[in-house]
Amino acid sequence: MTQKTIQAPIAVTSRTFSRHPQLREELALCFANIQFNDEGLALKGDELLRFLSGKEGAIVALEPFPKEVLAGLTEMKCISKFGVGLDNLDRAAMEELNIQLGWTGGVNCRSVSELALSYALGICHNVFHSSRQLADRTWKNSGGEQISKKTVGIIGCGFVGSDTAKLFSAFDCPVLINDIVDKSNFAESIGATLASKEKIYETADIISLHTPLTEETHNMISKKVLATLKPNAIILNTARGNIIDEDALYEALRSNQILGAAMDVFAVEPPFQSKLLELNNFFGTPHIGGSSKEAILNMGRVAIENLRAYFYCVRP
């Protein structure tokens, strides 16, 4: 039997979801009263409150939901995440206010892990820099190095970190894994080795960051840490911008203290004022890691299902 369309008023704050015809159509099969972010607004604060006023459910992306915003959403019952990062949501406040979280981990992990691998391949094989040179009409045949056999350190071995470790292990790279929980079984399954952060900093040729942003990981890659890396080290960040001290990274790259870095995430986005963008050994992308065509569709469908499941449960 076909289930009835849910009448609860909901809103989609995510700009990506709102402009995706297929996701809009699939959401409309479940909900009858939907407000999309059709103007493509970067919603926050009072503007976010006004947009969600009177709504009982929402599909959100990176919009900030501190306690003061959540407290103003007096009708809100469920917030479903389009994506996986939760650092924009005050989860303690959501629990206090009895707002349900719809979330499923790992829905875009292959998209992010492939980007991390592409960074490593691009830097090692001199793809990015030589492409810039060629665009400037400079022909310089410098093929770089293979990533095969290079030691790779994975810091943060959740969904994305685990998948990234698997990809690098396929290139016969010795993989070192660090996480706050025991990953010994996973490490054994792919032939990787558990290691301290300090061991990774001192020995890895490629370091790939996959931790959430917490008080412990804020500026985890500091000036002091960068000073311990190998001169040929490459650091990759597809997690959260504030995990790396960007001023310290700039100085390390500018002085050729390390070989290179690539980041998909920044402390301030877009990072148009960042000095990192001036450097030839830095490579940045505009937070595209989890945004492959396949990942967007998967994240959207999971967000719909989490919201639908909640309202069918509370409103049979």
Q: Which of 110, 210, 240, 308 is catalytic?
A: 240
**β-sheet with 234-237: strand ranges across:** 193-194, 175-178, 152-155, 206-209, 234-237, 260-263, 282-284
Q: What is the DSSP code (8-state) at residue 196? A: -
Cis-peptide, bond into residue 270, ω within 30° of zero:
yes
Instruction: Give the whole-angstrom CA distance, residue 185 versus residue 200.
Output: 19
Among the listed residues 47, 68, 95, 269, the single catalytic one is 269
Structure tokens at 130: 């030589």
Mark whether 254 is an active-site residue: no
Name the 3-class secondary structure at 167.
helix
Tokens 């303690």 correspond to 92
240 is catalytic: yes
Contact 51, 74 (CB under 8 A): no
Q: Which two tokens stand for residue 169?
A: 């292990």
> What is the rounded CA–CA span in Å between residue 174 and residue 181?
21
Q: How many CB atoms lie within 10 A of CB 217?
A: 20
Question: Does residue 218 carry a catalytic annotation?
Answer: no
Q: How far is CA 234 from the centre of its chain?
A: 19
Catalytic residue among 24, 125, 218, 287: 287
Beta pairing partners, 139: none
Asked if residue 212 lies in contact with residue 240, where contact means CB atoms within 8 angstroms, the answer is yes
Dihedral sign for Cα 280, 220, 65, 10, please: positive
Would you name the residues annotated as active-site residues? 240, 269, 287
